[in-house]
Amino acid sequence: MLENLKNRVCEASRDMARAGLVRLTWGSVSAVDREMKLVVVTPVQVGDGELRPQDQVIVDFTGRVVQGNQKPSPDVPAHLALYRRFAAIGGIAHCHSVYATIFAQARRGIEPLGNMHTDYFKGPIPLTREPRGEGHPDADAPEIGDVLVECLDERDVFAVPGALVPHDGPFAWGRSPREAVRHAKALEAVAETALGTFLLGGAGSLPVTSR
């Protein structure tokens, strides 16, 4: 069932691990088949970088496991919220990459400071509101999905294919799981460079039409 999609999710999750975006098991990748209304998602141990296609879990749009012997990622409700709201999204990547997570935990979005940013993000990388409204370190995935959808609802999700969630970290998406991971890589590189810029005293931002 959905063997091609399983292979694509597996390779994207390996790519994310190889890029150093995942530590321990802090990450998840998924892809959607909209005709069947099914989602292929990595199990909880995505971080080991050794997942096989048969390890992936298939869930329906309610989160019910349709196929798979392993426990799906706890991020499933957040992935499903994005798929249900934004029909153009075909793949999602979530991780706790160091620099992007620093911005998320500091409650700061990332303004466009240079061409590196605007090559991938045509505007600031947004920070969602606090899950549960007042900030909570144990905010769960359904609430994270809600705050992501709320934050992105009036935006072009492919103009800025990533967002930061307080207490959690970055989410990125694309038309495929491979593109989602590429956007996660770009977000981490932008966050690392932005943090260095701020540490050196730079704080200006470029207009989004700069390149």
Domain count, the chain: 1
| 205 in a structural domain | no
| 134 in a structural domain | yes
| 40 in a structural domain | yes
CATH number of the structural domain spanning residue 31: 3.40.225.10
The reported pTM is 0.89
| 204 in a structural domain | no
**Residue 91 near residue 31 (C-beta atoms within 8 A):** yes
| 176 in a structural domain | yes
- pLDDT given at position 48: 54
| 209 in a structural domain | no
Domain boundaries, position 176: 3-199
Which residues of the chain are under the pLDDT cut of 70? 1, 25, 45-50, 133-142, 203-211
